[in-house]
Amino acid sequence: MNNIDKQRTALMIAAVIGIIGCSKEPAPEAAASAAPAPAASPAAAPATTSDANAATLASNNGELIPIKVYKDPNCGCCKEWVKNLEANGFKVETMDMPDLSMIKAKYAVKPEIQACHTAIVGNYVVEGHVPADLIKKMLKDKPAIAGLAVPGMPQGSPGMEGATKERYDVLTFDRAGRTTVYAQR
């Protein structure tokens, strides 16, 4: 497939996603745009809230935080990550797609940081098995980034729980492909 055909296919898929996939919120800016504006800040938790309780807090007035997850319909770890998000105060809308390459291109998720699913929360991209508490931290802090990523599928990350646990980095990334370490787990 040549580049023109790829671009046409990408536009057609984007149009279909826009028609079928959009519910109430508009899609974030296309990958060619500058870094997205920070997401609207969820209401701050009271100063007396413990860290344990903060992990279960949702957004304004106890409402769940909306997040749209693009995933392969047959991927078990994606389903487990969605369950983890739901257990941590997110209202998850899933979009099952057998090929996520166009979504990853649209949101400037470079091959070096790709994982098995891509999510959109506010104006941010979340790539891979990013822990729910770090997504909430990003939404609260509103950094000038495109999003967070956990490249690959590290054992022990949310959705990849099991007998072994490996250390992994949670990265920030921008639309130019620059990354920094946001947290280590």
Encode pLDDT of 131-147 as tens digits: 999 999 999 999 999 99
Please give the average per-residue pLDDT across 148-153, as a whole number.
97
pTM for the complete prediction? 0.69
10 falls in which pLDDT band (50, 70, 90)? very low
In this prediction, residue 60 carries a pLDDT of 52
Q: Which residues contact 73 (CB under 8 A, 6 or more apart)?
A: 96, 97, 98
Q: What is the per-residue pLDDT for 172? A: 98
> Could you count the other beta carbons within 10 Å of the beta carbon of residue 119?
29
Average pLDDT, the chain: 78
Q: Sheet containing 179-184: which strands, arranged edge to edge?
A: 90-96, 65-71, 118-121, 124-128, 147-150, 169-173, 179-184
* pLDDT higher at 149 or 44: 149
DSSP label of 170? E
Average pLDDT over residues 84-107: 97
State both tokens at 4: 């023109």
Q: Look at residue 62 in the predicted model and tell me its pLDDT.
A: 79
The count of other CB atoms within 10 Å of the CB of residue 83 is 13
- For the residues 95-115, what does the mean pLDDT come to? 96
Per residue in 45-93, pLDDT tens?
Answer: 323 333 333 333 444 567 999 999 999 999 999 999 999 999 999 999 9
122 confidence band (pLDDT: 50, 70, 90): very high
Confidence of residue 25 (pLDDT cuts 50, 70, 90): very low
Q: Which two tokens stand for residue 139?
A: 């939404």
Evaluate if residue 44 carries a pLDDT over 80: no
Is pLDDT of 37 > 70? no
pLDDT at 161 (0 to 100): 95
